[in-house]
Amino acid sequence: MKKKKRKFSEIGHASTYSSRFFSEEVPKFVFPKNSMPANAAYQLVHDELDLDANPALNLASFVTTWMEPEAKQLIQENLHKNFIDHDEYPQTQVIHQRCVTMLMDLFNMPDPNKGIGSATIGSSEAIMLSLLAHKWNWKKKNPRTTSQPNIVFGSEVHVCWEKFARYFEVEMRVIPIHKNRYIVQANEILQNVDENTICVGAILGTTYTGQSDPISEINQALVNLKKTKGLNIPIHVDAASGGFILPFTDPKFAWDFRLEQVQSINVSGHKYGLVFPGLGWMLWKEAKTFPEELIFKVNYLGGWMPTYTLNFSCNSINVIAQYYNFLRLGKKGYKNIMQNCLKNAQYLASLMQKAGPFELINKGERLPIVAMKLKSSVKKFSVFDLSHKLREKGWVVSAYTLPKNAEKVAIMRVVVKENFSHDMAEIFFKDLQDSIAYLSTSLKKKRQKKRKEKHHPIC
């Protein structure tokens, strides 16, 4: 019997760069007709992704870009597990619950066994889920009201807060920041709350400057309001950036469940929790106050199991990687890493303060964030020019304007993570100085050229 000849496209591997797939157009907008060898497909995608920035030089992102080889091995071993399949993968759910309980302990829950919590895709989902729960609690307290619920927060919040308000029809009472102050104050909160406020949002480390709202003062103001007017308004703390830092570097600093009105917290495991994206955590002080209407029970995956996240299917790897970090590092390990991050951020801030053109907004005091704007005397270039020039060296640094009322303030922000060493800070600063010198000189030459052309026009 004649053996059927296999097509070239069905062969698993072929000579990589000598094959026709590297001299012909790759389908980009239509579904490909034929197959190609595995190594050719891999190399095409791999080479295209080389155009992305180097994650190790990404100082714009809070997201973790490095993990230990053992963590990567666990991730590789569990890529195929669907986290929601509790019946098929029961031990993963046990590990998940351990993480929740450990976080409740870390955030000073009065009784960790009375709380409720869940992993989420990121802090955005955790925030939306928590705020939705606060809305349902408000509805229960006001079953006959025709008033619209509202939520109070500062304009320095992450965009997901505004998304929640629009998606779930809650009035936003946004407190604007000021030209020289980029967080809210307790008295401003009190001026905006009323009987229809579902909760107040307080930020532990804003994405704009890394500064934090005065959470303890906001809490005390709301406690006083409860005593004097009977309004019991909870606080949701967005600890996406700072929740994995302050418990280790300043454990006496009160921002968490120690405060009476703090009812819910979100934190990002994929930021300073040191796990690859995407992983967030939602924590609720008392399970009995989390609305039952938001908890669904399904059995089509095997046994009966509760689900109360906005998302359903997701991978198990980030929860497992988070548990690895908790076991591997413990409080001592996290403290060492976060202190290193703070030291390196403060060292970079000290270098930048001597550089001349910068006015520092955050020097890495509480969070390892260095935020700065150019002095008003600097006219030759902008932070956007500087960010663009640094990109030529491979550095990714954020440059942006602040929210309404301070939109004329343009700043740069450097996020110092675990893999940004003292040595890297010096290399970055040297490249920063070179970029400043180039921009100052090149723009001066351009102006001189324009003046010459004005007096000696080309015919």
Q: What is the CATH number of the domain that holds 17?
A: 4.10.280.50
Whether residues 156 and 234 fall in one domain: yes
Residue 457 lies in a domain: no
Whether residues 273 and 129 fall in one domain: yes
Final residue before a domain boundary, out of 328, 360, 390? 328
Whether residues 92 and 191 fall in one domain: yes
Whether residues 271 and 395 fall in one domain: no
Angle between helices 123-141 and 159-167 (to 10 degrees): 40
Using the predicted structure, report yes or no on whether residue 454 has a pLDDT greater than 70. Answer: no
CA 381 to chain centre: 29
Whether residues 195 and 226 fall in one domain: yes
Angle between helices 69-77 and 317-355 (to 10 degrees): 140
Whether residues 242 and 105 fall in one domain: yes
Final residue before a domain boundary, out of 305, 328, 351? 328
Whether residues 236 and 148 fall in one domain: yes
Compute φ and ψ for 363, nearest 5 degrees.
Answer: -105, 20
Whether residues 374 and 355 fall in one domain: yes
Q: Could you tell me the two tokens for 108?
A: 């000073």
User: How crowded is the C-beta side of 204, counted as CA atoms within 13 Å?
Assistant: 28
CA-nearest of 377, 407, 410 to 178 is: 407
The two counts, helices (H) then strands (E), for the chain are 11, 13
Residue 4 lies in a domain: no
Using the predicted structure, report yes or no on whether residue 6 has a pLDDT greater than 70. Answer: no
Of the listed ranges 66-80, 85-99, 338-352, the least confidently predicted one is 85-99
On whether the pTM is more than 0.85, the answer is yes
Whether residues 317 and 385 fall in one domain: no
Whether residues 169 and 185 fall in one domain: yes
Whether residues 276 and 385 fall in one domain: no
Using the predicted structure, report yes or no on whether residue 369 has a pLDDT greater than 80. Answer: yes
Q: Which residue has the tokens 């595995």?
A: 38
Residue 402 lies in a domain: yes
Using the predicted structure, report yes or no on whether residue 450 has a pLDDT greater than 60. Answer: no
pLDDT digits (tens, 9 = 90+) for 283-312: 999 999 999 888 777 665 555 566 767 777
Q: With contact defined as beta carbons under 8 Å apart, do 170 and 148 qualify?
A: yes
In sequence order, what DSSP letters do the residues of 71-110 get, joined into one string? Answer: HHHHHHHTTT-BTT-TTTSHHHHHHHHHHHHHHHHHTT-S
Compute φ and ψ for 331, nearest 5 degrees.
Answer: -65, -40
pLDDT digits (tens, 9 = 90+) for 195-249: 999 999 999 999 999 999 999 999 999 999 999 999 999 999 999 999 999 999 9
Residue 357 is part of a domain; what is its CATH number?
Answer: 3.90.1150.160
Distance CA 400, CA 408 (A): 10
Q: In this predicted structure, what is the pLDDT of residue 167?
A: 95
Per the prediction, the chain carries an average pLDDT of 90
Residue 58 lies in a domain: no
Residue 210 lies in a domain: yes
Distance CA 261, CA 226 (A): 10
Q: Which residue has the tokens 């006959």?
A: 144
Whether residues 322 and 341 fall in one domain: no
CA-nearest of 273, 345, 277, 282 to 310 is: 282
Q: In this predicted structure, what is the pLDDT of residue 2?
A: 57
Q: Dihedral of CA 42/45/47/53: which sign?
A: negative
List CB contacts of 354: < 8 A, sequence separation 6 or more. none
The DSSP symbol for 272 reads: T
Q: In this predicted structure, what is the pLDDT of residue 19?
A: 74
Residue 297 lies in a domain: yes
CA-nearest of 275, 251, 448, 435 to 358 is: 435
Quick check: helix, strand or coil at residue 325? helix
Residue 152 lies in a domain: yes
Final residue before a domain boundary, out of 307, 328, 349? 328
- Where residue 33 falls (left for φ over 0; alpha for ψ -120 to 50; beta otherwise) is alpha
CA-nearest of 297, 299, 309, 249 to 96 is: 309
Residue 270 is part of a domain; what is its CATH number?
Answer: 3.40.640.10
Domain that holds residue 411: 336-446
Q: Is 254 exposed, middle or buried (0-12, 13-18, 19+ CB in 10 A)?
A: middle
Compute φ and ψ for 82, nearest 5 degrees.
Answer: -85, 120
CA-nearest of 283, 240, 242, 243 to 263 is: 283
Residue 61 lies in a domain: no
Q: How confident is the model at residue 109 (pLDDT cuts 50, 70, 90)?
A: very high
Distance CA 180, CA 172 (A): 23
Count: domains in the chain:
3
Q: Could you tell me the two tokens for 147?
A: 């008033």
